[in-house]
Amino acid sequence: MTASFPAIRMRRGRTEPWMRSMLAEHRLHPSDFILPLFVCAGQGCEEPIAALQGVSRWTVDRIGAQAKAAAALGIPCVALFPNTPAGLRSERAEEALNPDNLICQAVRAVKDACPDIGVLTDVALDPYTAHGHDGLVDERGRVLNDETTAVLVSQALVQAEAGADIVAPSDMMDGRVAAIRAALEGAGKIDTAIMAYAAKYASAFYGPFRDAVGSRGLLKGDKRGYQMDPANAGEALREVALDIAEGADMVMVKPGLPYLDIVAAVRREFRLPVFAYQVSGEYAMIEHAAAAGAAERDALILETLLAFKRAGATGILTYHAVDAARLIGA
């Protein structure tokens, strides 16, 4: 006898909220998020960032309160990025090695205000260079790999000494993870973790971030000589493999949503934590879409973050971390 009805009705699993919840394959939790925070010079200030609606820079005396509020929502870690004053930027990025620079001050302030939250610091020279590149450049404007790596090692040590729990080299220099790992071990910083920006693409999605750290308009040339070509996927797996072999504790794919295939491939290939950065351009698109009435903001936030988890991300750096944590807890 031929059945006149579907043999299997998939909709049975979607009929009621409790059923959908019970059968959900992936879930978001505040512990999935790392909140990026921008630090600026001065006292008692909040500087709204025009290109990142709803995101601000905070002076050191106010950054601790932001971290404390994030921790209260269950967010386990903050990532700190400086807006270095123009007068302190230089060709050789000397301010990156100042143990009392904005980042080191901010690390100490966060740890004083909220000792139990993790602090991740960016290891790269672009917030400190007058030319906007992530490393030292020669007379032709080419970024020098080994000379830059030596500076990055010193920068990572300064940050670890200030109290950073995770140092995150985002520069894409070859060999820098091994050099930083060796230096941390040699300095007795054996518990300082390395989150390598292993697959960082030369992306068009970084524009608002450059406004946030004050490097917009400084860049001479572009970063395609060291950041990855968006056309390449297999190369990302080679980069990740190298960083793991050099001592990375966890790796990152950046940007996020346009590179979920890379997140998924890295997760399948390697057995270590994989993070993704929902970068400033992605954040701005969601905000602009919601403001234009194209979609409902809260739904966009949660759906896009869930996509990271579905692709296999261990966690997500996102400017929506506080909003998402509140929505999950509501």
Residue 298 DSSP code: H
Residues facing residue 82 across a β-bridge:
39
Token pair belonging to 263? 């997140």
Q: Which of 111, 223, 254, 309 is catalytic?
A: 254
Strand spans (E) along the chain: 33-40, 46-48, 56-59, 77-82, 118-123, 166-169, 193-200, 250-254, 274-278, 315-318
Residue 144 DSSP code: P
Respond yes or no: is residue 200 known to be catalytic. Answer: yes
User: 211, exposed or middle or buried, with CB in 10 Å at 0-12, 13-18, 19+?
Assistant: middle
In angstroms, rounded to a whole number, what is the distance separating the alpha carbons of residues 30 and 193? 21
Q: Which residues in 102-116 are b (16+ Cβ under 10 Å) and which e?
A: bbbbbbbbbbebbee
Q: Which of 200, 220, 223, 309 is catalytic?
A: 200
Token pair belonging to 113? 């205000």
Determine how β-strand 56-59 pairs with β-strand 46-48: antiparallel
* Length in residues, the chain: 330
User: Residues 97, 37, 131, 153: is their CA dihedral positive or negative?
Assistant: positive
Strand spans (E) along 104-244: 118-123, 166-169, 193-200
Strand spans (E) along 124-238: 166-169, 193-200
Q: At what angle do helices 297-311 and 260-269 cross, to 10 degrees?
A: 30
Coil, helix or strand for 153?
helix
- Between the alpha carbon of residue 240 and those of residues 143, 149, 156, 193, 231, the distances in Å are 21, 18, 20, 16, 17
Q: Which residues carry out catalysis?
A: 200, 254
